[in-house]
Chain A
Amino acid sequence: MRYATPASAKEAAGMLSKEKGAAFLLAGGTDLLVKLKMGMVEPDLVVDIKRIPKIDQIQTSAKGFTIGAAVSGSVIGQHKGLKAAWPGVVEAANLIGSDQIQGRATLAGNLCNASPAADSVPAMIAAGAKAVIVGPQKKRTVPVEKVVQGPGKTCLAKGEVIEAITLPKPEAKTGDAYLRFIPRTEMDIAVVGVAISLKLERGVVKKAKVALGAVAPTAVVVPAAARALVGSKLDDAALEKLAAACSAACNPIDDKRGTVEYRTRVAGVLAKRAAKIAFQRAGGAL
Chain B
Amino acid sequence: MSNATLVSTTVNGDPVQFACPTDESLMTALRNRVGLTGVKEGCGTGDCGACTVTVDGSLVCSCLVLGVEAEGREVTTVEGLSQDGELHVLQQKFIDHAALQCGICTPGFLVAAKTLLDRNPNPNETEIRYALAGNLCRCTGYDKIVRAVQDAAKDMRKASKKRR
Contacts and interface: CB of A to CB of B under 8 A. Distances in A.
Are chains A and B touching in the complex at the 8 Å CB cutoff? yes
A33 B63 CA distance: 8
B63 A186 contact: no
Interface in B24-75: 25, 44-47, 49, 52, 54-55, 58-61, 63-66, 68-69
Contacts of A100: 46, 49, 52, 59-61, 64, 112, 134
B22 interface: yes
A26 interface: yes
Given A1-B3, A99-B134, A185-B133, A72 B66 contact: no
Contacts of A98: 46, 49, 61, 133-135
Nearest to B111: A100
B23 interface: yes
Nearest to B71: A5
A39 B14 CA distance: 33
A29 B133 contact: no
A43 B22 CA distance: 10
Contacts, number: 89
A76 B92 CA distance: 33
Contacts of A2: 3, 22
Contacts of B65: 29, 33, 104
**Best-buried of B21, B23, B68, B135 by chain A (most CB within 10 Å):** B23
Contacts of A26: 66, 69
Interface residues of B, number: 32
A1 B130 contact: no
Contacts of A102: 59
Contacts of B55: 103
Given A1-B3, A29-B65, A36 B134 contact: no
A48 B73 CA distance: 14
A23 to B, nearest CB: 13
Contacts of A33: 25, 46, 63-66
Helix, strand, loop or mixed for chain A's interface? mixed
Contacts of B116: 99
Interface string A1-43: 1110000000000000000000000100110011011100001
A46 interface: yes
Given A3-B5, A98-B49, A103 B133 contact: no
A99 B112 contact: yes
B115 interface: yes
A272 interface: no
Size class of the contact patch on chain A: 20 to 34
B66 A29 contact: yes
A44 to B, nearest CB: 10
Interface in B73-115: 112, 115
A37 B22 contact: no
Interface in A190-233: none
Given A46-B22, A100-B61, A186 B134 contact: yes
A101 B3 contact: no
Contact of A186 (B22, B61, B66, B130): B130
B68 A101 contact: no
Contact of A103 (B21, B25, B58, B63): B58
B131 interface: yes
A104 B64 CA distance: 9
Contacts of B64: 29-30, 33-34, 100-101, 104
B63 to A, nearest CB: 7
B22 A101 contact: no
A3 B22 contact: yes
Interface in A44-61: 46, 48, 50
5 contacts: A37-B25, A97-B134, A100-B60, A103-B55, A187-B134
Interface of A: 1-3, 26, 29-30, 33-34, 36-38, 43, 46, 48, 50, 72, 74, 97-104, 185-187
